[in-house]
Amino acid sequence: MTLKRDMGLGGLVFYGTGTILGAGIFVVIGEVMGEAGPAAPLAYALAGLVAVFTALSFAEIGARVPTAAGAIDYVEAGFGDRAALPAIVGWLLILANIVSGATITTGFVSYLSSFVELPGWMATLGLLALVGFVAVAGMKQAAWFMTATTALGLITLLAVLWLARDGLFAWPGLLRDGTVWEGAGSAAFTGILAGAFLAIYSFIGFGDMAQTAEELKRPKRNLPRGIIITILIVFAFYLLIATALGGLDGIAGIAQADAPLVYAATRGGEFPALPLALASLLVIVNGALTQIVAASRLLMDLGRDGRGGVPGKAGEVSDTTNTPVFATLAVLAVVLILALFVPLGTLASGTSLVILMVFAMVNAALWRLKRKTQPEDVPNLWVSVPLIGLVLCVLTIVGQVLLWTTGGS
């Protein structure tokens, strides 16, 4: 069985926007605020700079190689099968999506605990059961769910911006008077760099978008457009939300809150917390769903191609649902274990490191391909774009390793 092309450009944009915003704003922003403080907008801007060049590379190479394997086939197209690089990238991507799914699941439990007393393990099981059901039911059903929850998420973020508008207008003044730099010198820079590294996790979704190519109508046209539109939307929201929160008093409380966005927007009593918390939970469910879908598609691709030691069973697609049921269940099992036993910050930083490695290899693959050929029916980036993307990814990895080894984060 092959995957069905049920998704159009609009569905792809909602799919990508939902997974990126669900992770980057609703889950990880508290961790970023804890590292960068009022300089959080600068951390997101730095992360966005790294991500934008790689997103453009994904837009072109995704049109060149429109398959569900995404970065696996991109690296194979650029480097061949030397040193088993495609299989290595496949496992790195599967790991990144699984750890990201666990990160989002942990964030969901934190948000839920802010207004409902429920054992963490029970909330984790409930979320993954729901996500697993939708993922197995079919891509068309999943896309409808993602579209609805993403629309709700965008409305929620607009509400947060309105409720936190005082911070949005105050932040430029904090930048001018030096309050943003109150970490003083190198300490402030270290906080921004550590926050940016966590924020890199927030942009994982455009890689996931590329993996929908076999379920996307007119992929050579819609995939590049969808990635570019999505990255513009989410980058704008990241900067606006981070600026609004960075301009508020009591950043330490926001960073430590179970539901940082809800806490920041409603602590003045102007609006009840429950509606925002419920809407946030639905968006987080969307984020978890996209990670499960992406990881299962990758595992399916390795299984059907017999690569990376993945059993052929993982490559089977159900005749009933047109989805890789075995691969989906396997991914859910690992996500469950990680979500129950590993802290959110550790999961997010681990995902960032792995995804940066993949981003670096995708940029390198496109750079090699562009030096050989340039098809007429795909976007034609300047050859410097993937090269800059590669350099930025490598520098970010080196920077984080230095922070770890020097005790900076």
More confident: 85 or 2: 85
**End-to-end CA separation in angstroms for the chain:** 47
From residue 275, how far is each of 34, 87, 153 by CA, in Å?
25, 44, 12
112 close to 259: Cβ distance less than 8 angstroms: no
Q: Following DSSP, what letter does each residue of 38-107 receive, concatenated? A: GGHHHHHHHHHHHHHHHHHHHHHHHHHS--TTTHHHHHHHHHTTGGGHHHHHHHHHHHHHHHHHHHHHHH
pTM, full prediction: 0.81
Residue 66 has pLDDT above 70, yes or no: yes
pLDDT score, position 337:
92
Give residue 178's pLDDT band: very low, low, confident or very high (50, 70, 90). Answer: confident
**Average pLDDT over every residue of 284-289:** 80
Q: Which three-class secondary structure state does DSSP give residue 397?
A: helix
Residue 3 has pLDDT above 60, yes or no: no
Chain segment 9-53, per-residue pLDDT in tens = 877 787 778 777 766 677 788 888 888 888 889 989 988 888 889
CB-based contacts of 82, cutoff 8 Å, min separation 6: none
Chain segment 88-137, per-residue pLDDT in tens = 888 888 888 888 888 888 888 887 877 777 788 898 998 899 888 878 87
Residue 201 has pLDDT above 70, yes or no: yes
Say how far apart CA 335 and CA 128 lie, in whole Å: 8
Record the tokens describing residue 101, joined without a space.
């799914």
From residue 300, how far is each of 149, 155, 309, 321 by CA, in Å?
26, 35, 12, 14
Task: Please count the other Cβ atoms lying within 10 Å of the Cβ belonging to residue 387.
Answer: 17
Residue 184 has pLDDT above 50, yes or no: no
Mean of per-residue pLDDT scores for the chain = 81
Say how far apart CA 126 and CA 146 lie, in whole Å: 18
Contacts made by residues 123-130, CB under 8 angstroms, sequence distance 24+ = 124/336, 124/339, 124/340, 125/336, 127/285, 127/288, 128/288, 128/332, 128/335, 128/336, 128/339, 130/285
Chain segment 355-372, per-residue pLDDT in tens = 888 889 999 999 988 888
Q: Which three-class secondary structure state does DSSP give residue 224?
A: helix
Residue 291 has pLDDT above 70, yes or no: yes
Residue 141 has pLDDT above 70, yes or no: no
Residue 183 has pLDDT above 60, yes or no: no
Q: Which three-class secondary structure state does DSSP give residue 232?
A: helix
Record the tokens describing residue 119, joined without a space.
């054992």
Closest CA to 349 of 32, 46, 16: 32
**Average pLDDT over every residue of 269-277:** 80
